[in-house]
Structure 1
Amino acid sequence: MNHVPGALSSFRVLDLSRVRAGPTCVRMLADFGADVIRIEPPLGVDPNDTMFAEKRRGGDFQNLNRNKRGLSLNLKTADGLRYCVNL
């Protein structure tokens, strides 16, 4: 079976979204072939960690983030910001 690139295969998208609407929208971009990189803060950086951390292995989280690559990155540091710019 030949792989046919998606309509958005020439685009790279950094997914910094947090609430359901954002990941859903970006998932559609990934489904159409965009190279999506989901960036999340390391545990302990975000005061709302406990709301989402235990749900990361669940089906809903997996579905919202399908076709995305994942990266944990602390954007509150200079090194984290430099790394993000170079993606």
Structure 2
Amino acid sequence: MDWNAHIETNDKVLAGKPVIKGTRLSVEHIIDLLASGWDEKQVLENYPRLTKENLQAIFAYIRECLKDGLMYNEPVKSV
């Protein structure tokens, strides 16, 4: 899955947060919905401009961020 085909950042849209291309729906917002218990069907029904591929792209984007270490906190130093 090439998430770049579905997700973009633009400083003029939501202060540069990653969004689904052509929308103002942030990756963060969609992940918040899923983390709150929404399932794929609910997300797609409530946001008809989204596609299943958009949701897959969100997960591919997050996977890449994790792999690149962009989401890690600094390690806790033991005393």
The bucket for the TM-score relative to the shorter chain is: under 0.3
Give me the TM-score of the superposition, normalised by structure 1: 0.26
Counting helix residues as a fraction of each chain, which structure ranks higher?
2
TM-score, normalising length from structure 2?
Answer: 0.28
